[in-house]
């Protein structure tokens, strides 16, 4: 098992290598020079030279590339063009808040989605099933940031139940339990938006998976043996139905992280969103590359976790 | 009579499709969206880019959906926004389908090292988070609509490639393929005339579902403020609305509703297509 984990984690290396290489190629192929962009149009030649030197843009591209790879191997992702501080530090400082959003939403969505999926599959083509289907389709088709705006409009601006912006109440300097409760209150609406997006997919897949498994002959056999319906569903059918659900949850982490970035923009949540946006608008390539690497790593780790859950759900799956 | 039993007749697709009420409603809605987007100039005489002093007006008879912060007619912006959304959605999905077709067909039919290489590349593109990759590309090359279409198309072909490869692998061993080879058909002919036509249904379904994904991604980019400033986008309208959530909340309603309904129609159409094309693989 630990050997398997190690081997899978080693697969990250070629992945990072490809991402860095491709991004370097892209930046080099781009029209314009990052230094002129950083220094502004009216910058003097001396200042341009200073900027190029400071960000090591005056070195030949292969050398810039190798230096970057070497530093990355040591956990250093260079310095931000615009803020001057370390990219690794910037990303690490923001990643936590984003993962808190996505993690909470994924846990909630899995529980809710599987539950609703089971309920819908229990009475296929009933009114309830139809309603679930429509809600799922709508949730899947709605831009998550618009849902976030609607939640903000209704529950925050109109009803005043939840704060509109940020992660904490800046006016009060809370610590301990009150601080956690405060963060919790700020968490509700962004997490709700992300949860709806995820639930839509998870319950749809759970329902489809269950309906397919329930048609199998060994399901009839289980019922013929006189097993109560509850056991048939929860012990026999669900395990098999959840395999594709697990796969999809793992493979959608990247998509949900981008949903989180968009949702954060609506609620002023201090996660990767603001950092991503600023880096994109100011062409802060080191920060963008750092974010891309961090998110890709998150996707790989999620896929790994998916494999581990697989072995729990299906004893026939062996990791080797 | 006998022939009909063996060869599924062409209209069986329509027979199955027609029975799906939701699917028909989705097609109707989709056609309506396309008609409205194409006829935007006729339906609204206001220029979506024309600014005026009448800023942030509430919906009223002159401006049915009000005006935005620059005094532009909100209704005409919603109508023209449909063009951008449809254009990006369809073009990106087409591009993704073409790339996926090429990669999947070659990988499945050629096998060997070429298959291995193509599958490694596919795995790489599966892990790279599409939206973040799009942000990097837009930061580097600027936010022209063609760039957005290219990057969305080139990052979302993996599903199609994998589906097609699996189909090709399962079909290439069938008797009718062996028959074609025995008769003397060349590799290209076997692939293009015998295998691909039988593997296309799931590819079409995957392509139709990618349209909605590309539409949402385009709206997301525009919502972050990195959409193409030269076209009207529902996403950028929602970004502008964000500043006036307290005072003019209606600015966020129409564009959001427009994109939700459009993507919903596209996705439901994809589901209906799936049910009608592959009756055995029901949802």
- How far is it, in rounded angstroms, from Cα A15 to Cα A11? 7
Instruction: Confirm or reject contact between B245 and chain A (CB < 8 A).
Output: yes
Reported as a pLDDT band with limits 50, 70 and 90, residue B3 is: very low
- How far is it, in rounded angstroms, from Cα A317 to Cα B17? 38
Q: What is the nearest CA distance from B20 to chain A, expressed in angstroms?
A: 13
Would the CB atoms of A143 and B238 count as touching at under 8 Å? yes
Instruction: Confirm or reject contact between A294 and chain B (CB < 8 A).
Output: no
Residue B6 pLDDT greater than 60, yes or no: no
- Beta-carbon contacts of B205 under 8 Å, excluding residues fewer than 6 positions away, are B270, B273, B274, B277, B278
What is the structure's pLDDT at A320?
60
What is the structure's pLDDT at B5?
45
Alpha helices in A74-170 (DSSP H): 87-122, 127-141, 144-151
Spatial contact of A274 and A261, defined as CB atoms under 8 Å apart:
no
Which of B220, B245, B246 is nearest residue A143 as measured by Cβ atoms? B220
| Tens of pLDDT, residues A202-211 | 998 888 888 8
Instruction: Confirm or reject contact between A308 and chain B (CB < 8 A).
Output: no
- How far is it, in rounded angstroms, from Cα A69 to Cα A79? 14
- Please say whether the dihedral angle defined by the alpha carbons of residues B274, B276, B280 and B283, taken in this order, is positive or negative: positive
Who has greater pLDDT, A2 or A298? Answer: A298
Would the CB atoms of A137 and B264 count as touching at under 8 Å? yes
- How far is it, in rounded angstroms, from Cα A296 to Cα B45? 47
Phi-psi region of B282 (alpha: psi -120 to 50; beta: other; left: phi over 0): beta
In the stretch 50-69 of chain A, residues with CB closer than 8 A to chain B read none
Reported as a pLDDT band with limits 50, 70 and 90, residue B217 is: very high
Residue B181 pLDDT greater than 70, yes or no: yes
Spatial contact of B219 and A262, defined as CB atoms under 8 Å apart:
no
| Tens of pLDDT, residues A183-192 | 778 888 899 9
Distance in Å from the first CA to the final CA of chain B: 31
Q: Which of A301-315, B48-62, B159-173 has the lowest mean pLDDT?
A: B48-62
Residue A273 pLDDT greater than 60, yes or no: yes
What is the structure's pLDDT at A180?
80
Which of B129, B139, B235 is nearest residue A283 as measured by Cβ atoms? B139
pTM: predicted TM-score of the whole model, two decimal places: 0.87
Residue of A nearest to B131 (CA): A258
- Beta-carbon contacts of A45 under 8 Å, excluding residues fewer than 6 positions away, are none
State the Cα angle at B47 between B44 and B52, rounded to 5°.
120
Would the CB atoms of B136 and A23 count as touching at under 8 Å? yes
What whole-number percentage of chain B has pLDDT above 70? 88
| A145, A152, A306, best to mutate vs chain B, most B CBs in 10 Å | A145
DSSP H or E segment with residue A63: helix A61-73
| A20, A37, A141, best to mutate vs chain B, most B CBs in 10 Å | A141
Instruction: Confirm or reject contact between B246 and chain A (CB < 8 A).
Output: yes
Residue of A nearest to B123 (CA): A15
Phi-psi region of A176 (alpha: psi -120 to 50; beta: other; left: phi over 0): left
Q: Which of A10-14, A29-33, A245-249, B104-108 has the lowest mean pLDDT?
A: A29-33
Instruction: Confirm or reject contact between B138 and chain A (CB < 8 A).
Output: yes
Q: Which residues on neighbouring strands pair with residue A86, listed in sequence order?
A: A79
Q: Which two tokens stand for residue A81?
A: 């063009």
- How far is it, in rounded angstroms, from Cα B15 to Cα B38? 30
What is the structure's pLDDT at B280?
54
| Tens of pLDDT, residues A47-99 | 777 777 777 777 777 888 888 888 888 888 888 887 778 888 888 888 888 99
| Mean pLDDT score, B72-82 | 81
Question: Which of B145, B279, B163, B159 lies closest to B217, judged by CA?
Answer: B145
What is the structure's pLDDT at B8?
52
Reported as a pLDDT band with limits 50, 70 and 90, residue A12 is: confident
Spatial contact of A275 and A287, defined as CB atoms under 8 Å apart:
yes
What is the structure's pLDDT at A178?
76
Q: Which of A159-163, B100-104, B265-269 has the lowest mean pLDDT?
A: A159-163
Q: What is the ipTM of this complex?
A: 0.86
Please, what is the average pLDDT of chain B? 83
Q: What is the nearest CA distance from A88 to chain B, expressed in angstroms?
A: 17
State the Cα angle at A39 between A34 and A42, rounded to 5°.
120
Q: What is the nearest CA distance from B50 to chain A, expressed in angstroms?
A: 25
Would the CB atoms of A143 and B260 count as touching at under 8 Å? yes
Spatial contact of B266 and B215, defined as CB atoms under 8 Å apart:
yes
Q: Report CA A180 to chain centroid distance, whole Å.
A: 23
DSSP-assigned letters across all residues of B33-71? HHHHHHTHHHH--S-TT---S-TTPPS-SSSTT-B-TT-
Q: What is the nearest CA distance from A74 to chain B, expressed in angstroms?
A: 22
Q: Which two tokens stand for residue B179?
A: 């028959």
- How far is it, in rounded angstroms, from Cα A290 to Cα A273? 13
Q: What is the nearest CA distance from B84 to chain A, expressed in angstroms?
A: 16
Instruction: Confirm or reject contact between B59 and chain A (CB < 8 A).
Output: no
Question: Which of B265, B242, B268, B219 lies closest to A143, judged by CA?
Answer: B219
| Tens of pLDDT, residues B185-212 | 888 888 888 888 888 888 888 898 899 9
Would the CB atoms of A149 and B238 count as touching at under 8 Å? yes
Spatial contact of A134 and A203, defined as CB atoms under 8 Å apart:
no
Residue B134 pLDDT greater than 80, yes or no: yes
- How far is it, in rounded angstroms, from Cα B134 to Cα A299? 16
Spatial contact of B218 and B88, defined as CB atoms under 8 Å apart:
yes
Which of B131, B139, B260 is nearest residue A258 as measured by Cβ atoms? B131
Q: What is the nearest CA distance from A243 to chain B, expressed in angstroms?
A: 16
Spatial contact of A50 and A35, defined as CB atoms under 8 Å apart:
no
What is the structure's pLDDT at A293?
87
Please, what is the average pLDDT of chain A? 83
DSSP-assigned letters across all residues of A84-99? -SBHHHHHHHHHHHHH
Question: Which of A263, A296, A302, A300 lies closest to A91, judged by CA?
Answer: A296
What is the structure's pLDDT at B1?
40
């Amino acid at each position: 098992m630990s050997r398997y984990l190690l081997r899978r984690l080693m697969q990250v290396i070629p992945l990072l290598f490809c991402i860095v290489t491709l991004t370097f190629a892209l930046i080099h192929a781009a029209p314009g020079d990052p230094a002129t962009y950083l220094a502004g149009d009216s910058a003097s030649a001396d200042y341009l030279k200073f900027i190029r030197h400071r960000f090591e843009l005056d070195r030949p591209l292969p050398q810039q590339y190798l230096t970057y790879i070497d530093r990355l191997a040591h956990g250093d992702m260079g310095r931000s063009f615009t803020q001057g501080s370390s990219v690794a530090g910037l990303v690490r400082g923001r990643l936590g808040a984003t993962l808190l959003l996505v993690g909470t939403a994924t846990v909630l969505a899995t529980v809710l989605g599987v539950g609703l999926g089971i309920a819908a599959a229990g009475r296929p083509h009933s009114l309830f099933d139809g309603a679930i289907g429509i809600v799922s389709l709508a949730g899947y088709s709605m831009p998550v940031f618009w849902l976030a705006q609607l939640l903000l409009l209704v529950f925050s601006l109109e009803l005043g139940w939840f704060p509109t912006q940020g992660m904490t109440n800046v006016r009060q300097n809370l610590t301990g339990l009150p601080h956690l409760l405060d963060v919790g209150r700020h968490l509700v609406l962004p997490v709700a938006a992300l949860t709806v997006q995820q639930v839509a997919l998870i319950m749809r897949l759970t329902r489809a998976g269950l309906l397919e498994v329930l048609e199998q002959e060994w399901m009839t056999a289980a019922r013929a043996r006189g097993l109560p319906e509850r056991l048939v569903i929860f012990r026999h059918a669900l395990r098999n139905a959840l395999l594709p659900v697990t796969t999809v949850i793992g493979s959608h982490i990247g998509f949900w992280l981008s949903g989180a970035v968009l949702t954060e923009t609506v609620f002023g949540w201090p996660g990767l969103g603001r950092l991503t946006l600023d880096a994109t608008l100011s062409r802060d390539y080191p920060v963008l590359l750092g974010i891309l690497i961090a998110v890709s790593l998150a996707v790989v780790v999620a896929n790994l976790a998916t494999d581990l859950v697989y072995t729990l759900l299906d004893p026939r799956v062996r990791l080797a | 009579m006998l022939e009909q039993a063996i060869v599924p007749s062409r209209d069986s697709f329509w027979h199955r499709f027609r029975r799906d009420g939701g699917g028909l409603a989705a097609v109707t809605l989709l056609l309506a969206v396309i008609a409205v987007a194409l006829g935007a100039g006729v339906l609204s005489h206001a220029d979506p880019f024309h600014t005026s002093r009448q800023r942030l007006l509430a919906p009223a008879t002159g401006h049915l959906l009000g005006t935005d912060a620059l005094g532009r007619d909100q209704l005409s912006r919603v109508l023209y926004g449909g063009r951008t959304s449809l254009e990006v959605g369809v073009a990106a999905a087409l591009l993704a389908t073409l790339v996926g077709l090429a990669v999947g067909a070659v990988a499945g039919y050629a096998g060997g090292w070429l298959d291995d290489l193509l599958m490694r590349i596919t795995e790489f593109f599966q892990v790279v988070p599409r939206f973040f990759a799009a942000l990097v590309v837009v930061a580097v090359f600027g936010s022209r609509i063609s760039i957005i279409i290219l990057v969305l198309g080139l990052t979302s072909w993996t599903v199609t490639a994998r589906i097609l490869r699996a189909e090709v692998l399962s079909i290439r061993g069938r008797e009718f393929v062996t028959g074609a080879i025995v008769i003397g058909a060349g590799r290209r002919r076997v692939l293009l005339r015998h295998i691909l036509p039988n593997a296309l249904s799931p590819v079409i379904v995957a392509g139709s579902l990618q349209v909605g994904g590309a539409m949402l991604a385009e709206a997301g980019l525009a919502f972050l403020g990195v959409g193409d400033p030269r076209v009207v986008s529902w996403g950028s309208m929602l970004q502008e609305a964000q500043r006036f959530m307290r005072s003019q909340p209606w600015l966020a309603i129409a564009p959001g509703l427009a994109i939700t309904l459009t993507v919903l129609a596209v996705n439901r159409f994809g589901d209906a297509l799936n049910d009608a094309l592959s009756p055995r693989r029901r949802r």
